[in-house]
Amino acid sequence: MPDIVGAHEAQDGQQPVRESFGSRLASAMATRGPLCVGIDPHPQLLADWGLNDDVAGLERFSLSVVEAVASLAAAVKPQVALYERHGSAGMAVLERTLAAAADADVLSIADAKRGDIGSTMAAYADAWLRDGSALAADSVTLSPYLGFESLRPALDLAAQNGRGVFVLALTSNPEGKSVQHVGGSNSVARGIVNAAASENQRYSGVLGSVGLVVGATIGSALKDLDIDLGPVRGAILAPGLGAQGATPADLRSTFGAAYPTVLATSSRGILAAGPTSAALRAATQETLDSLRAE
Ligand SMILES: O=C(O)c1cc(=O)[nH]c(=O)n1[C@@H]1O[C@H](COP(=O)(O)O)[C@@H](O)[C@H]1O
């Protein structure tokens, strides 16, 4: 497998090399700031926005969020389950939401949390990471709890296509500990972090395309488990800000020296400001300002 370079570099007589997801994300975080806006069309939020809990409401909600935040956020993260609950028509709205994000020039993270045995994983990779797939996103969230290596088809397809993945390491929910903390100083989560670090060695540039998910709510877990995020060289997607109670100050104290690689993500905390574009933009800007404040 050739090295994935951090930027476009045309070689004589060949197709330009595709810019990696890690490189595209690093640029977006540098120019726009370290915030991803989650698109979570919960029934209650649809109602609060004066929309029905149906496919038309879902589409209006999703496209409004993309339109409002695309120029401010480094990425948007549609939560797949909230489209799936509307059946095939809901998944079609997700396809149009991902296309709208691409048209609006904001990176997409499909929050699908996929993970399966290798042969089936190849099909999930095909759905979310293949050029020309209706559901193709810039990146997808993956669950490594069938074993990190089971994710191989997605890791390789992402690398080939300039796309990325975010692998769950330490999740924001309290139950995550019962799996992820097992092993103490040689924890399951530490194994995932090390595997991501080694995977990113195939990428040059500031950030590799294999990110991790580490919740903003995990408190002292990185210290307790003796986990160093420094060698990962991938973005750390940190959910938990806002609705789950974490603050920008928590992010700084939790991540310490790794904070510059953290991409904070907030869904309900920003979406509750809707439905107007102005209010969504103000909430996004306010969150960005608080993430940048010392
Ligand atoms: O992968 C995720 O995005 C994720 C991982 C995790 O550990 N915790 C977590 O909350 N998430 C997602 O992040 C979003 C958080 O939403 P809010 O709590 O409304 O900001 C939801 O879509 C969750 O599915």
In DSSP terms, 238 is beta-bridged to 264
Peptide bond into 174 cis (omega under 30): no
How many other CB atoms sit within 10 Å of the CB of residue 91?
14
Q: What is the pLDDT of residues 88-124, one digit of tens each?
A: 999 999 999 999 999 999 999 999 999 999 999 999 9
pTM, full prediction: 0.95
- Residue-wise pLDDT for 3-18, tens only, equals 444 444 444 555 557 8
Contacts of residue 244, Cβ cutoff 8 Å, sequence gap at least 6: 172, 215, 216, 217
pLDDT at 7: 41
C-alpha 134 to ligand 1 mean position (Å): 23
Give φ, ψ of 228 to 5 degrees: -110, 120
C-alpha angle 115/117/123, rounded to 5°?
70
User: Ligand 1: which of 45, 111, 284 to mutate, most ligand atoms within 8 Å of CB?
Assistant: 111
**Residues written for the chain:** 294
Contact call for residues 236 and 258 (beta carbons, < 8 A): yes
Radius of gyration of the chain (CA): 18
Q: Which domains does the chain carry? A: 21-292 (3.20.20.70)
pLDDT digits (tens, 9 = 90+) for 207-256: 999 999 999 999 999 999 999 999 999 999 999 999 999 999 999 999 99
Is the C-beta atom of 40 inside 6 A of ligand 1? yes
Could you report the predicted ipTM of this complex, rounded to two decimals? 0.99
DSSP state of 256: G
* Ligand 1 within 6 A of CB of 239: yes
Percent of the chain with pLDDT over 90: 93
* Burial of 72 (C-beta count, 10 Å sphere; 0-12/13-18/19+): middle
Q: Positive or negative, the Cα torsion across 153, 156, 159, 162?
A: negative
Alpha carbons 154 and 110: distance in angstroms, whole number: 13
Cα distances (angstroms) measured from residue 82 to each of 49, 85, 277: 16, 6, 21
Question: Is the beta carbon of 242 within 6 A of some atom in ligand 1?
Answer: yes
Predicted pLDDT at 1: 38
Mean pLDDT of 192-204: 97
Q: Which amino acid does the sequence have at 146?
A: L
